[in-house]
Amino acid sequence: MNKSYKYQQAVISLCVMFAFFLKPTYAEVVNADSIIYGDYVVTMVTDQPVIEDGAVVVIGNNIIAVGTRSAIEKKYSAKQKISGSGRILMPGLINGHTHTPMTLLRGFADDLDLMTWLNDYIFPVESTVVDKDFIRVGSELACWEMIRGGTTTFVDMYFYANVTAEVVEHCGLRAVITGVALDFPAPGSTGWDNSFKDAVEFVKLWQGKNERITPGFGPHAPYTVSPEHLKQVALKAKEMKTPVSIHVAESEIESAIIQERYNASPVKHVLDLGFAPGNLITAHMVHPNEKDIKMLVKHKVGVIHNPTSNLKLASGIAPVSKMLAEGVLVGLGTDGAASNNDLDLWEEMRLSALIHKVKMNNPTAIPALTALKMATSMGAEAIGLGEETGQLIAGKRADMIQVSFDSPRLSPMYNVVSHLVYAIDANDVVTSMVSGKLLMKDRKVLTLDSKSVKDAANAKSRIIMKTLVSGKPSH
């Protein structure tokens, strides 16, 4: 055995050892389902700065890891990689209050106060034209619009909730769906007993059926549902561990009606009826008093601020700064498209950041980051889905969107959060993913057919106009 042979053997042994030690490193690379990139990753995790050139890793329904591109690519590979060049990656938006099928009444009755709008236009037309097909077409139109606009989760309250749930199951969004219940006859029901019974059956049918769909109860408001009936809902919701969405303290007239009927503010009236803490999602909350705000915190009530609807119906400007300062969880909502007239959360974010500056005579009242939280992380908490969605962090559902900032309209960009609230709009959203499944890629909605959704809506609007021979709509 000569020296060079010994040397060769030593080199081979070293290589084998080296390969042996390297092997576990390769074995640690995890095969994921998707890696989604962003030039900026806005996680909405408290104290987590925006990650530049970052990525999110998805396996199944869930986020597995979030980090810089270099850190992620050392540990993960994936069959599906979505480029983040010129794009911001962020949690999908949460629309905390809407009535999806009302997209079919978009522009149907404008420039009216809440009670005239409801009693003279919306309730009469609903009693005439709303059936299961109206709900299917209107919900599909709404879901298409929400996917295109970057909303990944919404809270709905309308008739024939089962049909909306079927649309949501198919189109891939996440939703809390509450069947509306009223004391008087309404589409699909002859009155309270009937609508409450159907609401219980709806919750039984959908609870635990699909992780994206949370069924709940939707008693319309304290002025359309009696205290006895609201107590029934509170008890059943507690027993079935399911959320309740309701309009509360929307207008001054409502406050006057409740004060006269029950000698209490709408908030005190509703909260004294026994709803479980953390169970209530209240829409509007324009007119709570100081005591009401403290009660909202104590009862862990989620409040959904709907600035466009409140402005359009002249309901007032909700005391959002005060509620936030007291620790109320506040999310954002569009309300139905009949009082907005779209389902664009970017508008709600921008308006919420702007109108409170004027109301408070203070330009720091609602900063951009607070508006963004209301549309994402805090919005998710306000509707009881804070464990599932609203942030990009390992363990939560893979609900996220990519937003393009390629347009000259968005150049230059000094501050990504500022851009998201003050400059970007729904048309800049390019990708939508919910529970790890792509719903939109490069602005093409993958789960609903754009043309057939639009054609069905237009066909339905012609039937609605023909049905309304009394000519109630004035436009």
Query: Which residues within the stretch 344-403 sit at the binding site for Ni ion (CB under 5 A)?
Result: none
Taking the complex as a whole, the smallest distance from the CB of residue 97 to Ni ion amounts, in Å, to 6
Taking the complex as a whole, the smallest distance from the CB of residue 99 to Ni ion amounts, in Å, to 6
Taking the complex as a whole, the smallest distance from the CB of residue 304 to Ni ion amounts, in Å, to 9
Segment interacting with Ni ion, rule: CB under 5 A, options 28-36, 286-294, 330-338, 378-386: 330-338
Strand 174-181 versus strand 151-158 pairing type: parallel
Distance from C-alpha of 285 to C-alpha of 333, rounded to nearest angstrom = 12
Query: Which residues within the stretch 62-121 sit at the binding site for Ni ion (CB under 5 A)?
Result: none
Q: Which amino acid is at 464?
A: I
Query: Between residues 198 and 335, which has the closer beta carbon with respect to Ni ion?
Result: 335
**Closest-CB residue for Ni ion?**
335
Query: Between residues 82 and 286, which has the closer beta carbon with respect to Ni ion?
Result: 286
Segment interacting with Ni ion, rule: CB under 5 A, options 119-127, 204-212, 318-326, 334-342: 334-342
Size of the site for Ni ion (CB under 5 A): 1
Taking the complex as a whole, the smallest distance from the CB of residue 283 to Ni ion amounts, in Å, to 5
Query: Between residues 282 and 432, which has the closer beta carbon with respect to Ni ion?
Result: 282
Q: Show the binding pattern over residues 20-59: x = contacts Ni ion (CB under 5 A), - = does not.
A: ----------------------------------------
Query: Between residues 258 and 398, which has the closer beta carbon with respect to Ni ion?
Result: 258
What the block records as the tokens of 133 is 């097909």
What the block records as the tokens of 74 is 């050392």
Taking the complex as a whole, the smallest distance from the CB of residue 301 to Ni ion amounts, in Å, to 16
Q: Can you say whether the dihedral through the CA atoms of 104, 343, 176, 169 is positive or negative?
A: positive
What the block records as the tokens of 351 is 């308006």
User: b/e string for 118-127 if b means 16 or more Cβ within 10 A?
Assistant: beebbeebbe
Taking the complex as a whole, the smallest distance from the CB of residue 286 to Ni ion amounts, in Å, to 12
Distance from C-alpha of 194 to C-alpha of 212, rounded to nearest angstrom = 27
Query: Between residues 64 and 281, which has the closer beta carbon with respect to Ni ion?
Result: 281
Other CB atoms within a 10 A radius of the CB of residue 49 amount to 8
Of these, 126, 145, 198, 335, which contacts Ni ion (CB under 5 A)? Answer: 335
Taking the complex as a whole, the smallest distance from the CB of residue 72 to Ni ion amounts, in Å, to 41
Contact 267, 201 (CB under 8 A): no
Q: Which residues contact 24 (CB under 8 A, 6 or more apart)?
A: none
Taking the complex as a whole, the smallest distance from the CB of residue 284 to Ni ion amounts, in Å, to 7
DSSP state letters, 159-223: SSHHHHHHHHHHH--EEEEEEEE-SS-BTTBSSHHHHHHHHHHHHHHHTTT-TTEEEEEEE--TT
Query: Between residues 33 and 252, which has the closer beta carbon with respect to Ni ion?
Result: 252
Distance from C-alpha of 380 to C-alpha of 374, rounded to nearest angstrom = 8
Segment interacting with Ni ion, rule: CB under 5 A, options 109-117, 331-339, 341-349, 438-446: 331-339
Residues of this chain that bind Ni ion (CB under 5 A): 335
